[in-house]
Amino acid sequence: MHRYRSDVNEQLDPHLPVIVGVGQITVRPDRGETSLEPVALMIEALRRAETDSGGSGLLAAADAVRTVSQLSWRYRNTPMLVAEAIGARPRELATSVMGGNLAGVMIARAAAEIQAGEAEVILLCGGEATRSVSMARAAGQRPDWTTQPDDTPPPTMIGDERPLVSEVESARGIAMPVHVYPLFENALRARLGLSIEQHQQRLGILWSAFAEVARDNPQAWIRSGFSPDEIARPAEDNRMISFPYTKRLCSNNQVDQGSGLIITSVAAATAAGVPRDRWVFLHAGTEAVDHWNVSNRADLCSSPALRLAGRDACALAEITVDEIDHVDLYSCFPAAVQIGAIELGLVDAPASDGPAGEDAGWGGIGARLPLTVTGGMSFAGGPWNDYTSHGVATMVDVLREDPGSIGLCTANGGYTTEHAVLVLSTAPPRRGVYGHSEPQAEVDALPRVELDDAWVGPVTVESATVAHDRSGPTHAIVAARTPSGDRTWCRSTDPAFMEAVATTELIGRRGRRSADGSIDLDGD
């Protein structure tokens, strides 16, 4: 462990940002527990956060109430409902647009505002009741939850509202994350030099390790644990979703969960009487966005934006990657975790050392330490855009139990598109101040690949997946390169082609793209 020294008598910048209270709530309507609507989950999580802080009056003193956008129920102004319930009169009511990165971005920016003296207490909360809504729909009902008048003023919006996909990508089926991330996964497999069998084993080992962490997380949705085979092998209760991802390898959004974080200045924490052992300092927060459309990425298995954001986060915190003691990587799909671990330097650069195995480092991917503190979005739960709030809340508890240790959390929106990186510790930052950066200009200057949707002629397969429904495989999606290096998207419903994607290494194979986007392999 690489612990910071923390002298209780040290002189701290009164504007230093600290997380002083965290709250989480998990409700199981599928086990007979009474459902709570999303805003009620948020309110309860914030109340738990205030209790957790050991201080008083923090909720009512909020300068800003910010909520992570929710999908299971829509309100006209969610933070207004939250503020009214907790007795706050904040200067700002804000909510995020859609994106799993935005909880991390809002934490990073809140800390920057507090460090700059622009705020003293900022509340962040999120909540989803997707399982309750699904159960109500199955029963032919609609929840009788809060609605607001049509003239309710909207909150301030945080985030980039651009469509994540272009019209061409949408027309070619490059839209659903459950189809795009498998393309990343299979591209990574080829880069690692693993066979399909070796790679499927690797995925099972990695996600089984996540399931084991969830066993010990009281807020986790699934705490039973699974063997690698139970995760990676298709079965009646674990059907293939999009090769190579089975159901258990995908984020589980069918959850009812809420989170609440209280972020304050050192001065505000002291005034509220928050005991020092509840403080977790924010050392650094960074954010960056990869080339917006997947079609323009230099490859399908890396994230320069995350790499640069991670570099800046460590530099601002004045630490090396080897000094990090606890990690929580955004975990919507295994590809996001593996790419994140590689880009942040938590594992060695991709290289094939033979078949994955239990002794190949944590999770079978060579990591020197666990990559989750919650158990991840398949098992702890993936409440749409709000997972990162739960990851940070759990990290705060972990750091309090391991004083002076260093934690790192990531957030990811889109298709490894938008990123945030946070560094935290119970000890104050070495620089004496919080650091925030956005290395976006560096990312934007990196090479781009052009999209050629009109190409007809020879192509080389870059990656491929097969989408499934409950009846079986439906179609293959193929990323391919033209002779000039442009990217083009292909599709096939040929049973033999779909079987080949899942059983034979097609990446690097040559074929021919037709005007309608269909593809045939050379020699077939």
What's the pLDDT score for residue 352? 45
Q: Could you tell me if 135 and 204 lie in one domain?
A: no
What's the pLDDT score for residue 360? 74
**Closest listed residue to residue 71, CA positions, set 255, 293, 247, 287:** 255
What's the pLDDT score for residue 348? 74
Number of domains present in the structure of the chain: 3
Question: Residue 506's domain is classified under what CATH number?
Answer: 2.40.50.840
**Closest listed residue to residue 261, CA positions, set 12, 18, 81, 16:** 18
Task: Say how far residue 384 (Cα) sits from the centre of its chain.
Answer: 9
Query: Contact at 8 Å (CB) between 18 and 283?
Result: no
Confirm whether 168 is domain-assigned.
Answer: no
What does DSSP assign to residue 172? T
What's the pLDDT score for residue 435? 98
Q: Could you tell me if 379 and 435 lie in one domain?
A: yes
Query: Contact at 8 Å (CB) between 500 and 519?
Result: no
Q: Rounded to 10 degrees, what is the CA torsion of 310, 315, 319, 324?
A: -10
Q: Could you tell me if 246 and 261 lie in one domain?
A: no
Q: Could you tell me if 270 and 346 lie in one domain?
A: no
Residues 279, 283: Cα–Cα separation, whole Å:
12
- Domain boundary pick from 392, 421, 444: 444
Question: Residue 419's domain is classified under what CATH number?
Answer: 3.40.47.10
- Phi-psi domain of 418 (left: phi exceeds 0; alpha: psi -120 through 50; beta: other): beta
What does DSSP assign to residue 107? H
pLDDT of the chain along its 524 residues, tens only? 455 554 444 799 999 999 999 999 999 999 999 999 999 999 999 999 999 999 999 999 999 999 999 999 999 999 999 999 999 999 999 999 999 999 999 999 999 999 999 999 999 999 999 999 999 999 999 999 999 999 999 999 999 999 999 999 999 999 999 999 999 999 999 999 999 999 999 999 999 999 999 999 999 999 999 999 999 999 999 999 999 999 999 999 999 999 999 999 999 999 999 999 999 999 999 999 999 999 999 999 999 999 999 999 999 999 999 999 999 999 999 999 999 999 999 997 554 444 455 567 999 999 999 999 999 999 999 999 999 999 999 999 999 999 999 999 999 999 999 999 999 999 999 999 999 999 999 999 999 999 999 999 999 999 999 999 999 999 999 999 999 999 999 999 999 999 999 999 999 999 999 999 999 998 76
**Closest listed residue to residue 17, CA positions, set 88, 125, 119, 92:** 119
Confirm whether 12 is domain-assigned.
Answer: no
Q: Could you tell me if 201 and 311 lie in one domain?
A: yes
Q: Could you tell me if 211 and 93 lie in one domain?
A: no
Q: Rounded to 10 degrees, what is the CA torsion of 483, 485, 487, 490?
A: 20
Confirm whether 298 is domain-assigned.
Answer: no
What's the pLDDT score for residue 357? 55
Confirm whether 166 is domain-assigned.
Answer: no
Q: Could you tell me if 57 and 106 lie in one domain?
A: yes
Q: Could you tell me if 91 and 198 lie in one domain?
A: no
- Domain boundary pick from 395, 418, 444: 444
Confirm whether 284 is domain-assigned.
Answer: no
Domain membership of residue 382 as a residue range: 174-250+304-444
Q: How many CB atoms lie within 10 A of CB 504?
A: 11
How big is the chain by its Cα radius of gyration, in Å? 23
Q: Could you tell me if 130 and 39 lie in one domain?
A: yes
Residues 65, 88: Cα–Cα separation, whole Å:
8
| 393 φ, ψ (degrees, to nearest 5) | -60, -45
Q: Could you tell me if 346 and 439 lie in one domain?
A: yes
In this structure, the strands spanning 121-129 and 457-469 are: unpaired
Q: Could you tell me if 406 and 339 lie in one domain?
A: yes
First to last CA, the chain: 56
What's the pLDDT score for residue 8? 46
Confirm whether 11 is domain-assigned.
Answer: no
**Closest listed residue to residue 326, CA positions, set 253, 439, 423:** 423
Confirm whether 292 is domain-assigned.
Answer: no
**Closest listed residue to residue 227, CA positions, set 252, 194, 201:** 201
Helix 177-192 × helix 196-215 angle, to 10°: 120
- Domain boundary pick from 444, 468, 496: 444
Residues 26, 340: Cα–Cα separation, whole Å:
27
Q: Could you tell me if 234 and 341 lie in one domain?
A: yes
Residues 238, 470: Cα–Cα separation, whole Å:
11
pLDDT in tens, 395-430: 999 999 999 999 999 999 999 999 999 999 999 999
Confirm whether 244 is domain-assigned.
Answer: yes
